[in-house]
Amino acid sequence: MIELLSQPWPWWAAGIIIGLTVPTLLILGNKLFGISSSMRHLCAMCVPAKIPFFNYDWKKEIWNIFFIIGVLLGGFIASEFLSTDAPIQIAENTKTQLRDAGVVDVTNLLPEDIFSWSSLLSLRGFIFIVLGGFMVGFGTRWAGGCTSGHAIMGLSSLQWPSLVATIMFMVGGFIMTWLILPSLIAL
């Protein structure tokens, strides 16, 4: 069993688990699947600073913090106990294009020449690690959700505003990947 689980999972296996998270949370306690709200709760918990957006009873949303701690632990368990040394099978075309753009490490989960403590203080590292993160937080909150809240939960419950958000996520991703990212990698 452990042997089987340690192999890379096919897309449909992960898709089924992600999809089943929706009814599981609903049935366990009427909770709406969403991950980016956890960061709002953290702000409300730690630095509400009299900002109306952060003044609400975050204790009622504490389940969300338990959930993301679980995601973190799941990441640890999978890499520590359920992993093989097999490199990720990335499409050749993506690898070639990224190598040509200047990415050195194409074998790990993240290109370690870009995402590392030592690159943090370079302009490129700052953009990928700090600015990218800022845009993810600022953008998801303005959009009212991320891939989980809008693309999975919102589309599952047939909400058209979530379709708008999901399309914009993809548009942003395509613009960045095709038009801007090559110059950022070359920095």
Binding residues for another protein restricted to 127-186, rule: CB under 8 A:
127-148, 150-162, 164-178, 180-181, 184
Q: Is 154 exposed, middle or buried (0-12, 13-18, 19+ CB in 10 A)?
A: buried
Written as six digits, the tokens of 111 are 């290109």
Contact predicate 175/154, CB 8 Å = no
Select 102 or 181, whichever has its Cβ closest to another protein: 181
**Minimum Å distance from CB 122 to another protein?**
13
Q: Interface with another protein includes 12 (CB under 8 A)? A: yes
Written as six digits, the tokens of 33 are 């699947």
**Minimum Å distance from CB 106 to another protein?**
7
Q: Interface with another protein includes 19 (CB under 8 A)? A: yes
What is the x/- site pattern for another protein, positions 20-59, by CB under 8 A?
xxxxxxxxxxxxxx-xx-xxx-xx---x-x-xxxx-----
Residue 144 carries which DSSP code? T
Written as six digits, the tokens of 185 are 């990698």
Type of residue numbered 47: V
Long-range CB pairs of 139-143, under 8 A, 24+ apart, other chains included: 139/172, 140/36, 140/39, 141/36, 141/39, 141/40, 143/168, 143/169
Type of residue numbered 62: I
Q: Interface with another protein includes 187 (CB under 8 A)? A: no
**Minimum Å distance from CB 85 to another protein?**
14
**Minimum Å distance from CB 102 to another protein?**
13
Select 31 or 102, whichever has its Cβ closest to another protein: 31
The number of beta carbons lying within 10 Å of the beta carbon of residue 105 is 14
**Minimum Å distance from CB 2 to another protein?**
12
Show contacts with another protein in window 73-132 (CB under 8 A).
73-79, 82-83, 88, 90-91, 93-95, 97-98, 106, 109-111, 115-117, 120, 127-132
